[in-house]
Amino acid sequence: MKLLLLSFLLLTSSYASDAVEFFQKNKNNKILCHIGQYSYKVLSQKNANIIKIHDRKFFKMKNENLYFLNNSCQAIKDRDGIVF
């Protein structure tokens, strides 16, 4: 059981950092961040920055006082599309 939990934790942590790397690769890359129960916000390098607070990475909107934890965001790729 412990081995299963540790492997799940490793897998989850690798996916959580994927949005940050994707965000930093190109200015045209966009990520989708979860705000509330049914609300989402699309971020790119044009309207957001990555900041580090207490060794955790957050996406901060440039014009607003909104912070998104990196594991609440996912990469939007052309081939995937958005499904609700």
- State residue 48's pLDDT score: 92
The segments of the chain whose pLDDT lies below 50 read none
Alpha-carbon span 46 to 39, nearest angstrom: 20
pTM: predicted TM-score of the whole model, two decimal places: 0.67
Q: What is the pLDDT of residues 5-21, one digit of tens each?
A: 777 666 665 555 577 88
Alpha-carbon span 9 to 13, nearest angstrom: 6
DSSP state of 27: T
